[in-house]
Structures are given as structure tokens and as C-alpha cells.
Amino acid sequence: MLIPKYIAPRRKSTALTDEGKRNIEKPWLAKRDMREYISWVLTWSMMLFCAGAAAVMCLLDARNVKMMGDLCLVLHDDFDNGLNRDVWFHEVDMGGFGNKEFEMTTNSDNNTFVEDGILYIVPTLTEDAIGHENVYNGYTYNISGCTNVNLTTCSATSNYTTQKVVNPVQSARISTKFSHSITYGRVEVRARLPRGDWLWPAIWMLPTRNDYGPWPMSGEIDIMESRGNGRDYPFQGDNYVRTSLNWGPADFINYAFMTYGWWKKPRMRFSDNFHTFVLEWSPTFLRSYVDTRLQMPFSIDFNQPFYERGNFPATAFNGSTEIVIENPWKGSGSNSAPFDKPFYLIMNVAVGGTNGWFPDTVGDKPWFDGSENAMYQFAKAQPAWYPSWPEDLKRRGMAIDYVKMWQSC
């Protein structure tokens, strides 16, 4: 018996056909366009090359980052137990310091206080304490607890006729002058800056001794300085912070203009939130940054002596007197001199001044630096600037969360 051969049913082909009805493109059968192929290869090659080059650059940059070495913590104050006056020294003075600032600095709880573990340094109006009229006429104010040996900076007498006023603002300036200092190391301060026209917050350092001579021969390190004026202020308002080194071979020559830098927040202000301001200082370099090393206002290598860096003239005029310029750091044996000695930390909120920090005629400035009655001019303009100061004292003042200092060890 013959068994018929099984024949599978014929299936319809799934191959693409035109069957005379339409043309169906079959690009895999076409010859490749070499220009398109080369373009594809070049594009991916460049992308891979750039990614590799970026990785190599990051690696090399990381290897070239200058490291601080071993550090020993010498101060950590988070103010959880209030303001420790064994650590923090109040400078009480009415002389305006070297900048002829308009505030007096007090040790009053009105101007420095701690709340919820935050230290506040707050400017207030003097008239709140002695009355408006006494600021301007017929009143002698003697500041309590003055720390300046020059007693002329411990009092002021107001007089309408001579346009002399009692310092119209009270604020504070505290330091570790008698407790902690470092020679090379690290400083870290987490703070929120104050808001208000002509306020001048600062976190900075001075030498414990003037080994090389009076300021600026022995140096000054300004870790952070700012201005409380708003973002529309033409000369860097409260969305800027600056770092600078002050130094020079005579007490009337300061070359800070050669060693400074700043960092800017384009869409915010440093009075909006807390930020961490850091100084890293070694025998070979000094740098500052805000929150991260990617936000670095200032960095300097100590690759040459400061006297050579300044290229100072042989002589200079101090007023009408010609002075021979000599190297105060000669024989120090260090390229970092004068920044090779112990420095202590200062935090303060100043107001105004006549040293040029607030340039004349900029931002409706109500006084002139060269005027003998600059403080009077500032005080009389109170209706213009005081409304910019927040009523909330915590926003008006500089708020400090913590302070840390390390010594190279």
C-alpha cells in the first residue's frame, strides 16, 4: 500500500515584494555612502577622544591639587553652650579702627548674642540707647569697658556746630586674640551674612605680634569680606564675597591690590543662606573657598618673596616726606613672609568707613571719604539707608553656626 507523501501547506512569503503594486526600498541592498560612514566614525571617535582627554585632565588636575598635610584641631566652637568669653575677646572701641568706621564696637548682649546655637553679631542704632538728639548735639558718650589704651577712642561728644556726632551705630568685633592662633593650617566658618546698606561683614586674621613692623608690614589675611548693599549695588553687593592679603614695606603702603579675588552668586545673595568660608594656608600656598574648592575666590603660590612680588620703588612719599623703602622681610628665610607667623581670628560687622571699601559717588553713597565730617554725613542720611536694614535682628546681623581652626602639625 502506497502511503502518500506529506506535503506541507504553502505559506505566504513574508519577504518584502512590490508585486508590481508599489516600490519598497531595501536599503540593506544598497551600497553604503562612504561620506556618511566616515562622518559617523569621526563623530564617535571625537566623542570618545574628548571623554578620554577629559578623564586624563581630571586625573592630572587631581594629582596636582596641593594638599595641606597633617592638621591638628585647636578650636571647634558651635556655640551650643553660648558665647565662651574665655575664647572670644570683645574689642570695645569708638575710634573706627584703621578704616575710620562709623560704628562703635561694644560687649553688649544687644550686639552679640546666641540663640539656638547660632551666634549673632548685630548692628543697632545708638539712638535706641541714648536718644536721637544726643547723637547730634550736646552729649558726651563714654563707652563701657573700652579695650583701647588710647583713651581718645573711648568717648565722643556730639556738636551740631562742628558737625561732630556720637557714633550712630553700635556693633561688635570679637576675636581669638588671647586664646587661639595658628601658623599655617585651616580655618572654617559657617555663617550667613547680614543684609543692609553700608554694612561690612568680615572674617579675617591678624598677627599676634608685629614681628615685621606695624600694619601692613606684618600682614593681614581677609578670609571673607562683603557688603550688605543689594545685588544692584554697582561695586559688588551682597552676592559677592572677597578674599585678600594685605602687605607692604611701610605703614603707608598696602599692596592688597595685587593679592585679592572674589566669588559671585549670580542669582542669590550670601544673606539668604548659610555658607562655609574656608582658608587653607601652608608654607607654599594659601587659598580660600566657599562651600567647595570648585568655588575658590583666591589662591596664591608662595613661589617668590613678597618683596620681589611687589617690585617696590627705592623711595616713596609719605605726604611730603620722601622715605627710603627697605625690605622688612629680609632674612626671614621664607617666601611666605609676612604670612609665616601666628595669626588669630576676628569676626565683626562694621558700618561704613573712609578707607575706600565703599567708593565715593557709587550707589548713592551719602558721605565722602575725604570729608572731615564723613560720620556726620552718614548719620544724617539715616532715613535713606536704615529702611534697608531688616527689622529682624537675626537677618540684620551676621549669623555664625560654628568656627573651626586647625594648626599644621
Average pLDDT over residues 113-125: 98
Q: Which residue has the higher pLDDT, 267 or 311?
A: 311
Return the pLDDT at 255: 96
Give the C-alpha separation, 315 to 324, whole Å.
Answer: 4
Give the C-alpha separation, 267 to 89, whole Å.
Answer: 36
Return the pLDDT at 38: 80
Of the listed ranges 13-22, 119-128, 163-172, 174-183, the least confidently predicted one is 13-22
Return the pLDDT at 12: 54
Is pLDDT of 57 > 90?
no
Is pLDDT of 24 > 70?
no
pLDDT tens across 327-352, in order? Answer: 999 999 999 999 999 999 999 999 99
What is the residue-averaged pLDDT of the chain? 92
Is pLDDT of 17 > 70?
no
CA 155 to chain centre: 32
Cell output for 156: 565722643
Q: Which residue has the higher pLDDT, 229 or 31?
A: 229
| This prediction's pTM | 0.86
Return the pLDDT at 158: 98
Return the pLDDT at 313: 95
Q: Which residue has the higher pLDDT, 112 or 267?
A: 112
pLDDT tens across 165-211, in order? Answer: 999 999 999 999 999 999 999 999 999 999 999 999 999 999 999 99
- In order of start, what are the domains of the chain with their CATH numbers? 71-302+339-408 (2.60.120.200)
Q: Given its phi and psi angles, is residue 188 left (phi above 0), alpha (psi -120 to 50 degrees) or beta?
A: beta
Is pLDDT of 132 > 90?
yes
Return the pLDDT at 40: 76
Greatest CA separation for the chain: 142
Q: Which of 4-8, 27-31, 233-237 has the highest mean pLDDT?
A: 233-237
Give phi and psi for 129, each to the nearest 5: -95, -35
Are the C-beta atoms of 113 and 121 separated by less than 8 Å?
no
DSSP string, 347-370: EEEEE--SSSSS-TTSSS--S-TT
pLDDT tens across 58-90, in order? Answer: 565 555 568 899 999 999 999 999 999 999 999
